[in-house]
A and B are shown apart, each in its own frame.
Chain A
């Protein structure tokens, strides 16, 4: 087992990984950029190393500096978390050359799944259903012919892509050449690779993904699904398991497809096979595989009854995964809401600032994975995810009620958050009925914050101004350079 692990990440996931290390008796090394000097994950680790400027490229994405930091601190392994370098095959390969263990799959698996065209070809060979489409096309005529065969609307997307970049929906033949051109341009800019593939655009679909988990000795299982259809800008905001859409038969088919997909690239450690499911036909198609731990992994942990980060570490250290597929059942229901510093009333624009108040909900079945606390700075350099609120209950109905109550108790001041928005989504009949598809937030859900502040909020604000709260802050803000300031004089009621 490892003696010391460097965590090449920040925020809630860094803290979640540090916790797992501590439980396993492993020393931890945090890394931080200029902007994160006082961040929570830095204070939480046993050691912390400064790795560069605030811009991700000059810190959390700098593979050389991270590897040197691991060597300098005598760490045996690096956990990449999610995002940043977690799906970077060259980073995983460079670590191996430096005699360090990458806590994740092999560089080959990452590379195979990172290329959307290659992975799709491999999936077809492995018998995994894929979205009807074509790879390896170059000429416009070729795309035109393929699009007509598939039928509009179609999606052209970057082979080297990810994160919604280099992707265009084309609704008719007249838009095709422009769609190809702009997707190519974006792909070239973002990935230095202009290859595109074309496929049927499934406009009304559920996003359902399967957690897979395997060791380096050939044992690989799935840990059921996560339904992640509540999205904005192609990014998930609410995830749950089990999916309200799946039948037991469909779950079994998709689980088997997920395992087949992972086996096709010799996968080990934690991974996620993403599918889209047409709710009308219940047909499912492989979308892509994420070769890392997911943001939404806690819902799986709660329902499958396994600490995924513990097992990621143990598997990376070479231990066998001792469980078979038959060992696992889904117990109860879990939902995760991502608490973002963003303004849902203003195009989900990120909101930055210092947290003036931060209170997490507590109670039975409530878990909060957080990277911030009162006084923390939320900067524009990184993803605006503040925390993940996860609830578990015996069934979906109770889990929704628990989430509603927990969201109400979550208080964040200093940055605008999506907490009120999440409350509205979780209480909406479409969500309650499990009918939300990936474009629902954009097309079906019209949320606006209340135009007028509530009477109670005005009373509270007025009373706060009258009483101690404001008096304290006024004293703190006082220009104390003036030695004759009246605030220097003791006052009978200021205490």
Chain B
């Protein structure tokens, strides 16, 4: 799956009991030795590394090697739009291949920003698909239990102001 922080997208895939992380040209094997209380003991290409990570909404505070970074993550499920254009009707896509585990809304229903619309399960994780803004469910394209591909459109939200016009 792809995770974006700031302007950088990192791709993580599971391989056996470890993970493979790719950023641009660089790929490493990562094993999680322990993850507890915001502390991650990692083995990156065989090198031990301790990282501290705290979440605060879309913010991630990360300390590695004595350096602290504050990374901002685009809202979960929000479609990354090319060239800075925001479409009025928000098409929300699956961030990774998986199975739709829950559908919390129906077509025509009004939703509020941040509301969890769907839950997709993949790579032993649950990912909440949230409304990027207030609006209405224009189209619901999946149902519970359905298998979805990465980038597959799951649901379309149209913003309220547009719907009223």
Contact = CB atoms under 8 A, between A and B. Distances in A.
B54 A454 contact: no
Contacts of B65: 408, 454, 456
A467 B66 CA distance: 22
B60 A420 contact: no
Contact of B38 (A408, A469, A471, A485): A469
Interface residues of A, number: 48
B146 interface: no
B56 A414 contact: yes
Contacts of A450: 67, 69
Interface stretch (B3-11, B131-139, B148-156, B157-165): B3-11
A466 B126 contact: no
B101 interface: yes
B111 interface: no
Given A411-B52, A473-B55, A462 B21 contact: yes
A19 B53 CA distance: 32
Nearest to B38: A357
B30 interface: yes
A454 B32 contact: no
Contacts of A479: 115-116
Contact of B125 (A413, A416, A466): A466
Contacts of B89: none
A486 B119 contact: yes
B49 interface: yes
B23 interface: yes
B140 interface: no
A464 interface: yes
Contact of B28 (A407, A410, A459): A459
Most A CB within 10 A of own CB, among B8, B53, B73: B53
A460 B42 contact: yes
B152 to A, nearest CB: 20
Interface in A447-478: 450, 452-471, 473-474, 478
A416 B64 CA distance: 15
B126 A413 contact: no
B163 to A, nearest CB: 23
A237 B74 CA distance: 36
A494 B61 CA distance: 23
A452 B21 CA distance: 17
A422 to B, nearest CB: 11
Nearest to A474: B128
A412 B53 contact: no
A414 B51 contact: no
Interface string A433-458: 00000000000000000101111111
Given A450-B67, A474-B128, A460 B51 contact: yes
Contacts of B54: 356-357, 413-414
Contact of A459 (B30, B116, B119): B30
B71 interface: yes
B68 A412 contact: yes
A417 interface: yes
A474 B77 CA distance: 14
A425 to B, nearest CB: 14
Given A456-B49, A461-B71, A411 B63 contact: yes
A460 B68 contact: no
Contact of A409 (B3, B6, B38, B66): B66
A410 B23 CA distance: 28
B71 A453 contact: yes
A460 B53 contact: yes
A452 B6 CA distance: 9
A464 B71 CA distance: 13
Given A460-B53, A464-B60, A469-B38, A416 B70 contact: yes
A414 B116 CA distance: 25
Interface string A248-273: 00000000000000000000000000
Contacts of B23: 455, 458-459
A443 B135 CA distance: 52
A254 to B, nearest CB: 36
Given A459-B42, A470-B55, A356 B128 contact: no
Interface string A162-173: 000000000000
Given A419-B68, A454-B64, 18 more contacts: A413-B68, A419-B66, A420-B67, A456-B64, A457-B62, A457-B69, A458-B10, A459-B42, A460-B62, A461-B3, A461-B5, A463-B19, A464-B35, A464-B51, A465-B55, A466-B1, A469-B53, A479-B116
20 contacts: A357-B38, A410-B66, A411-B63, A419-B66, A420-B68, A454-B67, A456-B44, A457-B63, A459-B42, A462-B5, A462-B21, A463-B35, A463-B40, A464-B62, A466-B123, A473-B55, A479-B115, A484-B104, A485-B116, A494-B126
Interface of A: 356-357, 359, 407-414, 416-417, 419-420, 423, 450, 452-471, 473-474, 478-479, 482, 484-486, 491, 493-494
